[in-house]
Chains A and B, each alone.
Chain A
Amino acid sequence: MSIEVRNLNFSYGYRQVLHDISFTANSGEFLSILGPNGVGKSTLFRCVLGLLSGYTGTVSVDGTDVRSFSVREMAKHIAYIPQSSHPIFNYSVSDIVLMGRTSGLSTFRSPKKQDVEICQWAMEKVGISHLALRCFHRLSGGEQQLVLIARALVQKAPVLMLDEPTANLDFGNQLRVLEQARSLAREGYTVIQTTHHPEQSYLFSDRILTIQDGRVLKEGTPEEVLTEETIRALYGVEVEVVSLYHDKARICIPAHITA
C-alpha cells in the first residue's frame, strides 16, 4: 500500500503555504519529514489526512484519490497519531484504544467483543496491555503516545501518520516510540512522521523528505539527505556532520565547537 502526493499546493487566503509538493511513501517504508517551524509541515499533514480540503493536486492511496473516500473510508486507509491527545473526560486506556475501531462500526452501533479482542492484540503489540484499565490522563507522555499508536493500529489502516511523535517525550521514550514506528514499517505499514530531529531521522527512517518555505528541498535516503549543506539550507545553521560506526549514525555538531 503506497501513498502518493502529487503537485500539492495550499494557500491560507492569499498566502501560499505549500508549493508543488510531491512525494511517495511505499509499504514497508518509514518516511521522516524534516523542516523548521512554520514551513508548512503541519499543513501538509493536515492536507494528506483530509483535515484540510482546499488544496490543489492529489493525494492518493494505491492509486485512488482520497477525495473520493468518505470520512469512514479515509479512516480505513490512513490512521493519524497526534502529537498528544487531551481528552476532556476521564477515559481508560482500553476505552481510548477501542475508539480506533469506530470506522469499522455503523453509526448507531457500539463496539462488539471482536473489537475488544482486536484492541487487546494492539495493546499487546505495543506493550501496554498492563495499562489497559489505567486512566489515560495519568500516564506519562511516552505511554500516552503508545496508546495513541495502539488506537491507530486497531483502525487497520495501512498508512500511519505520526505528527512529531517524540516532541513531548524524554529520551528513553523517544527511542521506544521510534523503534515501534520502525518495526511497524518492517511489518509492511507505510509510516510517515514529522520531526525536528535530523539525527534520529537518520537512525530510524528509510527516507527523509525536507521542506523549506513550503517547497520540497531535498528527498532521498538518510545518507543522501543528512549533509552539512542540507542542514544549512534547512535550518540556517552551520554544523559539521560527523559519521560514526561505519556511517550507521550521523551527528550534527555546531560549527563553533569544531572551529
Chain B
Amino acid sequence: MNNIEKKHRRTLWVMAAGLMICILASFTLGRYPVSIGELLGVLGAKLGLPVSSFWSASVETAVWNIRLPRVLLSVLVGACLASAGAAYQGVFQNPMASPDILGASAGAGFGAALAILLGASSVGITVGAFAASLATVALVFTVSRHARGDRVLGLVLAGIMVSSLFQSGTSFLKLVADPNNQLPQITYWLMGSLSGAKWGDILFVLPAMLFGLIPLLLLRWQLNVITMGDDEARAMGVNAPRIRFGIVVCSTLVTASAVSVSGMIGWVGLVIPHMMRRLVGSDYRFLMPASMLGGSLFLLVVDNVSRNVTTAGIPIGILTAFIGAPFFLWLIMGKVDHYEH
C-alpha cells in the first residue's frame, strides 16, 4: 500500500471519529437540555446495562423517542443519498448523475402525495412513497428496454421522462388536494424534512437500506472498472451490464428508502461524492465509504442547524439546496486535480 492510500485510509478514520462525536453532540443540542452523562445513562440503560436512573422521564423521552430516531435517520439518509449518488455517477459514467436520475424521487413524491390524499397515517405515507418509488424505477427500466441504441443513454432518458410524468402527476394531486390540510402536508413532505422521525419509519426502511448499502460497499472495486467503459471492463473480466444492473438495483433501494422517510432532500447525492473526490480521490475503494460517512456527517450537521439555529425549523431540503448549490459552484470553479504531481 502506498502513502496516498494510507493517507486516504486515515481520512476515513478521521471522518468516522468525527461522525461519532457529531452524533453524541447532536443528542445534547436542542430546546430541551440533555447532558452527556444523562445521555450515556439513558443509552446504557436501554442497552441493558445496569445503570440506576438518575435522569427524569422527560430526558429519557427526549433522548430515546425524539432525538435518537432523528439522529439515526439523518445518518442513514445522508449515507444512502451520497452513496447512491456516487454509485450512479460511476455506473452511468456521468459526474452529474444524482440519486433521483432514474425517477426514484419523483415516484416517491407522487406516492406520498397520493397516500396523503387518501388520508394515510405517517407510516402509510412512508410505505406509499417507497412502493411508488420502486415502481417508478421499474417502469423506467421497462421503458428503456424498448429504447433503440445506447442502453445506458436510453435508461437515463427514460428516467428523465418518467420523472417528469410523475412530477406532473404530483402537481395534479396538489391541485385536487384539500387546500386546508392536505395541500400543506404534501408541500411540506415534498420539501424534505427529518422532523417527526419515528421508530416505525426507521424499522420499515432499515432493512432495505442495509440491503442496498452493503452490496454497494462490496462492489466498489467493480465500480472502478465499470467507469472505464463496458468494452474495457469486459476485457478485464467484468460483465459490466450485469454489475451495473446490480448496482442500480441497490442504489434505487437505498434512494427509495431514504426519500420515503425524509422527502426530497436534494443536492446531497450530487455534492457529497464530488466533495469526497477532492478529499480521497476517485478510487471507489475510498470514495464509497467516504461518501457514506460524508453524507451522514453533512446531513447530521445540517439537520442540527435546521432544528436548533432556525426556530421555525426550516425543512432540511431547503437548507441542503441553500448550501449545496453555491458549494457546487465553488467546486467547479476551483477545479484542482487530486493527483497533481
Asked if A135 is at the interface of the complex by the 8 Å CB criterion, the answer is yes
Q: Which of A122-137 contact B (CB under 8 A)?
A: 132-135, 137
CB closest residue in chain A, given B235: A80
Query: Would you call A51 and B231 a contact (CB within 8 A)?
Result: yes
**Shortest CB–CB separation between residue A99 and chain B, in angstroms?**
5
In whole angstroms, how far apart are the Cα atoms of A135 and B338 in the complex? Answer: 8
Q: Check A76 for interface membership: any CB of B closer than 8 A.
A: yes
Nearest CB of A to B2, in Å = 7
CB-defined contacts of A87 to chain B, threshold 8 Å: 227-228
Query: Considering residues B220, B236, B238, which has the most beta carbons from chain A within 10 angstroms of its beta carbon?
Result: B236
A:39-67 near B, CB below 8 Å = 46, 49-51
The 8 A CB mask of A75-87 against B (1 = contact, 0 = none) is 1101110100101
Q: From the candidates B222, B231, B239, B341, name the one contacting A134 in the complex (CB within 8 A).
A: B341
Chain B CB within 10 A, most for which of A92, A137, A155: A92
Contact yes or no, A50 B281, CB < 8 A:
no
Residues of A within 8 A of B119 (CB): none
Among B4, B221, B234, B243, which residue has its beta carbon within 8 angstroms of that of A109? B221
Query: When A92-B4, A94-B2, A95-B224 are in contact, do A50 and B338 touch as well, CB less than 8 Å?
Result: no
A221 touches B (CB below 8 Å): no
**Contact present for A107 and B219 (CB under 8 Å):** yes
Q: Is B277 an interface residue (CB 8 A)?
A: yes
Say whether A99 contacts B231, CB under 8 Å.
Answer: no
Within 8 Å CB of A71, what residues of B?
A: 234, 237-239
Taking a contact as CB atoms closer than 8 A, the residue among A46, A92, A111, A138 that contacts B281 in the complex is A92
Is A235 close to B, CB under 8 A? no
Residues from chain A with a CB closer than 8 A to the CB of B218 are: 108
Interface residue A72 (Cβ < 8 Å from any Cβ of B): yes
A residues 119-177 touching B (CB-CB < 8 Å): 132-135, 137-138, 151, 155
- For B224, the closest partner residue in chain A by CB is A99
Contact with A along B260-301 (1 / 0, CB 8 A): 000000000000000001000111010000000000000000
B282 touches A91 (CB 8 A): yes
Q: Check if A116 sits within 8 Å of B338, measured CB to CB.
A: no
Q: Tell me the nearest residue of chain B to A89, going by C-beta.
A: B282
Q: How far is the CB of A145 from chain B (nearest CB, A)?
A: 14
Knowing A51-B234, A82-B232, say if A88 contacts B283 (CB, 8 Å). no
Residue B57 interfacial (CB < 8 Å)? no
- B237–A80 touching, CB < 8 Å: no
Instruction: Tell me the complex Cα distance, A155–B218, Å.
Output: 21
Collect the chain A residues with CB atoms within 8 Å of residue B341's CB: 133-135
Residues of A within 8 A of B222 (CB): 102, 107
Is B32 on the interface with A (CB-CB < 8 A)? no
Neighbouring A residues of B220 by C-beta, 8 Å = 110
Query: Smallest CB-CB separation from A111: which chain B residue?
Result: B221
Known: A75-B236, A103-B236. A90 touches B337 (CB 8 A): yes
Within the complex, what minimum Cβ distance (angstroms) separates A128 from chain B? 14
A198 close to B (CB within 8 Å) = no
CB distance from B49 to the nearest CB of A (A): 36
CB distance from A247 to the nearest CB of B (A): 37
CB-defined contacts of A132 to chain B, threshold 8 Å: 2
Q: Which residues of chain B (216-251) have a CB below 8 Å from chain A?
A: 218-222, 224-225, 227-229, 231-232, 234-239, 243
Q: Give the Cβ gap from B201 to chain A, nearest Cβ, in Å.
A: 30
Instruction: State how many angstroms separate the Cβ of B61 from the closest Cβ of chain A.
Output: 42
Tell whether B54 is near chain A: CB-to-CB under 8 Å: no
Q: For the complex, is A222 an interface residue (Cβ under 8 Å from B)?
A: no
Instruction: Enumerate B56-95 residues with CB–CB distance to A below 8 Å.
Output: 90, 93-95
B95 lies within 8 A of A89 (CB): yes
- Contacts A90-B337, A109-B221, A138-B337 given: A99-B228 contact, CB under 8 Å? yes
B28-65 vs A, Cβ < 8 Å mask (1 yes, 0 no): 00000000000000000000000000000000000000
CB pair A49–B277 under 8 Å, yes or no, is no
A135 touches B236 (CB 8 A): no
A35 CB-CB contact with B under 8 Å: no
Q: Which residues of B contact A102 (CB under 8 A)?
A: 221-222, 225, 236-238
Q: Is the CB of A49 within 8 A of B235?
A: yes
Report chain B residues within 8 Å CB of A49. Answer: 231, 234-235
Interface contact A90-B225, CB-CB below 8 Å: no
A15 within 8 A of B: no
User: Once bound together, how far apart are the Cα atoms of A89 and B239, in whole Å?
Assistant: 20
The 5 closest A-B pairs by CB, nearest first: A103-B237, A75-B237, A80-B235, A135-B339, A89-B282
Give 29 CB contacts A-B under 8 Å.
Answer: A71-B237, A71-B238, A73-B237, A75-B234, A76-B237, A80-B231, A82-B232, A87-B228, A88-B95, A88-B227, A90-B277, A91-B282, A92-B339, A94-B2, A95-B282, A99-B236, A102-B221, A102-B225, A103-B238, A107-B219, A108-B218, A110-B285, A111-B221, A133-B4, A133-B341, A135-B337, A135-B341, A138-B340, A151-B236
B interface residue numbers (CB < 8 A to A): 1-2, 4, 90, 93-95, 215, 218-222, 224-225, 227-229, 231-232, 234-239, 243, 277, 281-283, 285, 337-341
**Given A46-B231, A50-B234, 13 extra CB contacts under 8 A:** A71-B234, A72-B237, A73-B237, A91-B224, A92-B281, A99-B224, A99-B236, A107-B222, A107-B243, A133-B339, A134-B341, A138-B340, A151-B236
